[in-house]
């Protein structure tokens, strides 16, 4: 019979608190993206919602189990998004969406991040390129704006994710340590 993993109340409490930090970060990222950018640009409701979703995804992507890992994820996300931003913007300034271009630009995005020494970012660059180009196909008027908007959404989500990681490190974990009866190392929970 397989041995059951024992969840202590401390582990459950930490998981609930960290999940709560993530939930609040996602709400903040969503509200910032849907409200902040709509004041800067005249965006459709669909663009507002897409921006909110994209900011939430960036916040989830960045928020990790340590501040150092969150910072590394933030650098990864911004590097991949920056490459995708440049490639998609250059393409969409001159040409409309095309399925063959979608495939080629995903390949170019992956190749570019690999050649600049960030092969682990190839997946994120490819996904970002796919989203930007398909959204440009859905909203072909001013399609060149999509890379700019998605870059801004990503920046919002990454910033919120880093702030949430800092909050987790400086507020949530210290509170857990104070609450733990033996005052031991919470990182091993």
Q: Over the stretch 132-179, which tens digit does the pLDDT of each residue have?
A: 999 999 988 889 999 999 999 999 999 999 999 999 888 777 776 776
Domain coverage including residue 37? 11-188
Q: Is residue 164 part of a domain?
A: yes
Q: Is residue 168 part of a domain?
A: yes
Let me know if residue 61 belongs to a domain: yes
CA distance 175 to 97: 50
Q: Which of 25-39, 53-67, 107-121 has the lowest mean pLDDT?
A: 25-39
Number of structural domains (the chain) is 1
**CA-closest candidate to residue 70, choices 149, 172, 151:** 172
Residue 6 belongs to a domain: no
pTM of this structure? 0.85
Is there a domain that residue 3 lies in? no
* Domain contains 2: no
Cα(122)–Cα(66) distance, integer angstroms: 23
Q: What is the mean pLDDT of residues 110-131?
A: 97
Cβ distance 62 to 77 under 8 Å?
Answer: yes
Q: Which two tokens stand for residue 117?
A: 């020494």
Query: In this structure, is residue 5 part of a structural domain?
Result: no
Q: Which of 150, 167, 161 shows the shortest CA–CA distance to 33?
A: 150
For 68-91, give one letter per residue: b (16+ CB within 10 A) or e.
eebbebbebbbbbbbbbbebbbeb
Within-domain flag for 107: yes
């Amino acid at each position: 019979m397989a041995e059951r993993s024992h969840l202590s109340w401390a582990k459950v409490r930490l998981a609930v608190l960290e999940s709560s930090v993530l939930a609040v970060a996602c709400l903040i990222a969503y509200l910032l993206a849907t409200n902040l950018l709509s004041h800067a640009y005249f965006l459709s409701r669909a663009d507002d919602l897409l921006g909110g979703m994209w900011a939430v995804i960036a916040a989830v992507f960045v928020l990790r189990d340590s501040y150092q890992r969150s910072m590394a994820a933030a650098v990864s996300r911004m590097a991949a998004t920056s490459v995708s931003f440049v490639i998609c913007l250059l393409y969409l300034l001159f040409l409309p969406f095309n399925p063959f271009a979608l495939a080629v630009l995903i390949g170019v995005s992956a190749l570019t991040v690999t050649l600049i020494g960030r092969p682990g970012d190839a997946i994120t660059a490819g996904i970002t390129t796919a989203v930007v180009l398909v959204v440009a196909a859905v909203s072909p008027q001013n399609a060149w704006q999509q890379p700019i908007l998605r870059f801004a959404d990503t920046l919002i989500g990454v910033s919120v994710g880093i702030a949430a990681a800092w909050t987790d490190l400086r507020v949530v974990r210290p509170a857990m340590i104070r609450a733990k009866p033996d005052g031991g190392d919470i990182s091993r929970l």
